[in-house]
Structures are given as C-alpha cells and as structure tokens.
C-alpha cells in the first residue's frame, strides 16, 4: 500500500511540475503574439500578423520595432501591436 501511495504522489508531482515548466513558454512565443493579434483585432491580415510576430520573436529592440510597425501598417491598434510584439519577444 505504501509503495502505491508513493507512486501516486510521484506521478502527481511530476504532472504538476511539468505543467508549471510548460506554462510560461506556452504564453511567450511568436504564436501567442499571432493569436493575440487575431483575438484583439479580428480584421488583421493573418499573413502580416504571422510575419510581424516571427520578426518580433527574434528578440531585441530593432525586431520589436519592426514587428510593431508591420502591425501598425495593417492598422492594428497601437496598444494591441505593442503587447503582441512584447509577447513575441518573451519567447
């Protein structure tokens, strides 16, 4: 009985540990940038959003600016573009 309890607790620990390890990266990628843009501004051109988010995902000030201005050219609101590019850069 003690071995079964230990095995069950071990599985639960691994399951929660895996979820904690995966959660931060799931939110911080060019993909999260892309979906954020489409959720907040459904009229965005999907190709433009994808291209901008990939550039922003490379990190750095210049890539952030390129991502931001690419989204702004497609008339994505400034607040949405800024947050999306920040999400891409955290990846």
What is the domain count for the chain?
1
Is residue 60 in a domain? yes
Radius of gyration of the chain (CA): 19
User: Which pTM value belongs to this model?
Assistant: 0.68
Is residue 11 in a domain? no
Is residue 14 in a domain? no
| Residue 44, C-beta contacts closer than 8 angstroms, at least 6 positions apart | 37, 38, 71, 74, 76
Q: What is the pLDDT along the chain (91 residues), one digit of tens a residue?
A: 655 544 554 554 444 554 444 444 444 689 999 999 999 999 999 999 999 999 999 999 999 999 999 999 999 999 999 999 999 988 6
| Residue 43, C-beta contacts closer than 8 angstroms, at least 6 positions apart | 75
């Amino acid at each position: 009985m003690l071995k079964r309890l230990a095995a069950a607790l071990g599985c639960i620990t691994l399951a929660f540990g895996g979820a904690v390890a995966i959660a931060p990266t799931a939110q911080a990628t060019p993909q999260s940038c892309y979906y954020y843009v489409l959720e907040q501004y459904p009229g965005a051109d999907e190709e433009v959003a994808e291209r901008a988010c990939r550039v922003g995902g490379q990190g750095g000030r210049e890539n952030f600016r390129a991502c931001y201005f690419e989204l702004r050219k497609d008339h994505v609101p400034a607040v949405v573009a800024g947050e999306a590019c920040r999400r891409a850069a955290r990846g």
